[in-house]
């Protein structure tokens, strides 16, 4: 597996620079994601620049992430069509970059954001629209030979390992897989205190489907009602069994990119060092480009 990073500094495809890439390499990363605001505006010279810059630094181009919001499950057909078109263009761009996959954001019916809850998110209608959107994008992915990496979470339409499996079965394409991010699926006390069981449900139900991962951790806040916050990997309050996570990833996706995400530039070195300690315990030897 490759140790990578998502969202470190400025990683927009037309803005990322040599200084950022150099710093990522100094932190020990082998890959980085690439963010894209408008795939149609990306020129051949932009792609050549990024590929050359990464190759010169000894880094792999990682997952691509498009800024298309949460429209893939929208009831507004114009909004949904726009999101589908955007993601199709992301598939094309991902192939041109030689990236391992492009990120599929399920979205939400909540107009405040793609990762906010809404009572309709678990409805059959929302699920069916999401499946239809994925099938449209997968036609392009199958032609291009580019993978799509689906993420989910407890607040969105793909809210459990079982629901993710239902989604893959309904879409029915070999070009769509799971971006493993177990912290997103911690929604109750039982899962928080037994993350190994949650992880095992994913590794059992998504066998052969995992194409990469995001690495982070979480903590349970002391309060009357259950409340979870993201936490630095390796911090005393962190609760994810990172050893089980990494061992499962090594078995499920031995050539995948494990991207550390959601940490500031200041906290990133601490999080990376925490993940390295867990990797050592798990017997993981990170691959190099």
| Per-residue pLDDT tens over the stretch 113-162 | 999 999 999 999 999 999 999 999 999 999 999 999 999 999 999 999 99
Domains and their CATH numbers in the chain: 2-282 (3.20.20.150)
Residue 74 has a pLDDT of 97
Residue 133 has a pLDDT of 98
At 4, phi and psi to the nearest 5? -130, -175
| Per-residue pLDDT tens over the stretch 225-280 | 999 999 999 999 999 999 999 999 999 999 999 999 999 999 999 999 999 999 99
**What is the Cα–Cα distance from 231 to 219, expressed in whole angstroms?**
6
pLDDT at 209 over 90: yes
Asked whether the CA dihedral 277, 278, 283, 287 is positive or negative, the reply is negative
* Residue range 82-98: mean pLDDT, rounded: 98
Place of tokens 């798990």: 282
In DSSP terms, 150 is beta-bridged to 104, 178
Residue 69 has a pLDDT of 85
pTM listed for this prediction? 0.96
- Per DSSP, 12 falls in state B
């Amino acid at each position: 597996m490759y140790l990578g990073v998502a969202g470190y500094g400025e990683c927009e495809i037309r803005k990322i620079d040599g200084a950022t890439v150099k710093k990522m390499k100094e932190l020990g990363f082998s890959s980085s994601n690439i963010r894209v605001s408008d795939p149609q505006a990306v020129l051949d010279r932009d792609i050549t620049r990024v590929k050359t810059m990464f190759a010169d630094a000894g880094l792999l181009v990682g997952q691509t992430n498009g800024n298309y919001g949460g429209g893939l499950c929208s009831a507004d057909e114009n909004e949904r069509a726009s999101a589908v078109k955007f993601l199709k263009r992301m598939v094309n761009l991902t192939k041109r970059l030689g990236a391992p996959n492009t990120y599929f954001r399920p979205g939400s019916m909540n107009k405040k954001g793609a990762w906010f809850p809404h009572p309709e998110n678990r409805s059959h209608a929302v699920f069916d629209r999401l499946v239809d959107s994925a099938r449209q994008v997968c036609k392009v992915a199958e032609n291009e030979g580019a993978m799509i990496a689906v993420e989910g979470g407890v607040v969105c339409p793909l809210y459990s390992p079982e629901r993710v499996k239902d989604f893959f079965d309904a879409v029915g394409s070999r070009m769509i897989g799971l971006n493993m991010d177990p912290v997103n699926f911690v929604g109750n006390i039982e899962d928080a205190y037994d993350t190994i069981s949650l992880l095992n449900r994913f590794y059992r139900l998504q066998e052969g489907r995992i194409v990469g991962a995001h690495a982070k951790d979480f903590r349970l806040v002391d309060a009357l009602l259950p409340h979870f916050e993201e936490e630095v990997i390796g911090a005393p309050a962190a609760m994810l069994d990172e050893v089980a996570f990494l061992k499962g990833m090594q078995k499920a996706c031995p050539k995948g990119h494990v991207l550390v995400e959601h940490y500031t530039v200041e906290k990133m070195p601490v999080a990376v060092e925490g993940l390295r300690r867990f990797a050592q315990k798990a017997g993981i030897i990170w691959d190099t480009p």
